[in-house]
Structure 1
Amino acid sequence: MSLQFEIVPVTPFQQNCSIVWCDETKEAVVVDPGGDIHLLKDKVNELGLKVVKLVLTHGHLDHVGGTTELAKELGVPVWGPHKEDAFWLQGLARQSEMFGFPLTEAFDPDRWLEEGDEIPVGNQTLQVLHTPGHTPGHVIVHNSDAKVAFVGDVLFSGGIGRTDFPKGDYQTLIDSIKGKLWPLGNDVTFVPGHGPISTFGRERASNPFVADEMPLY
């Protein structure tokens, strides 16, 4: 048995929504359902999965915009992010106006996530780490057996998350990456909130923002 995932880019920001499932039980979670929920439902049906909950890494609109509608249609709870992102979720109407998105009403999840929490996915488990910096309540989830992490907007292939939003902080973000992500292992594949997947090892070697040792040219 193992953990599987499929990425479905959604919204005009092409946010990487991940459908993550246990291939033994076919139970699944949807990480960051930012919008285009018809695409998500179609993919879930195509894969023959049963979604048991929605998981949010942080409160930005392109990651959470489809949450309320999808949770209602599937009859499942919403977990995450960390409670420090409550102000982002309460400001979703303003975010919608700012980005020209359809109106998304404020909501609270059924459960806030904390460092050390575990999210069951069939016979598999996702571990939760609190990784502030991009937003104060950002979390990432990872599975050590499959060596995969879903990191939202903390880290990208060749880049890092923005820190110019309210309550963002550059040094806090760098500390989250180096202190929380790197110890998970160089061989861990990560799915960022946008763009291609990569590995922590590759980013440690080549990412200009967080590489351990940049080569001299």
Structure 2
Amino acid sequence: MGNIILTSDDFGLSTIYNREILLALQSDLLTSVSIMVNGHLSKQQQQVISLKLLVQEKNISLGLHLEIGINEKDIRKLCLNQWNKFVNILGLQPDYIDIHKDHLFRHHYDDIAGFCIEKHVAFRKYKETTIKLKAPDDMFIASSESLNNIEERLKVIKSNETLEMVFHLGMYDEDVVSSLNKERAEDRKKLEWAHQVINKLGLKIMSYNELK
């Protein structure tokens, strides 16, 4: 049986995005949330409290969604600073780490993987990572794909393979600069569609906490 982790990135970027992510968690549509700590998260305490309550009730993993500058030199220091912010704001340690706009930072994947090993947490599956560590077997960004492509990827998942399917839930927020701003409302529909296919195929839904 194949395994699916259902993630939404970008919690903390917008209270509107947060609201939609929380609603999806309440409806058992997500098992994982990646959190940005460098922006407004410290001012979103009520939504952070709601998220923590859901973590206590459900099988949800929380990830540190690293924000990296284009000219970043000391990647370990950046990882440690954002790790500590995560712990200070949420009172919890991340279950895993991934990267905001990851395609821009392939040259840092192994450095971040090393930090994950140091902290004993998983790392999102980036094929360019050469260090072996705890991670899903594959990752699929559903936000940029059609419903048909989502279904086709789920149909070919191998027995005992763990696939992380990544969404960017939200509604349009005029105060946020995001390349996915207008598409975020569609991701809720894509996520619901993915659940229909997952149920039809008999795949197991899990969180990062169940990775071995």
User: Which TM class, normalised by the smaller chain length?
Assistant: 0.3 to 0.5
Q: Relative CO higher for 1 or 2, CA cutoff 8 Å, sep ≥ 6?
A: 2
TM-score (norm 1): 0.35
- Structure richer in helix, relative to its length: 2
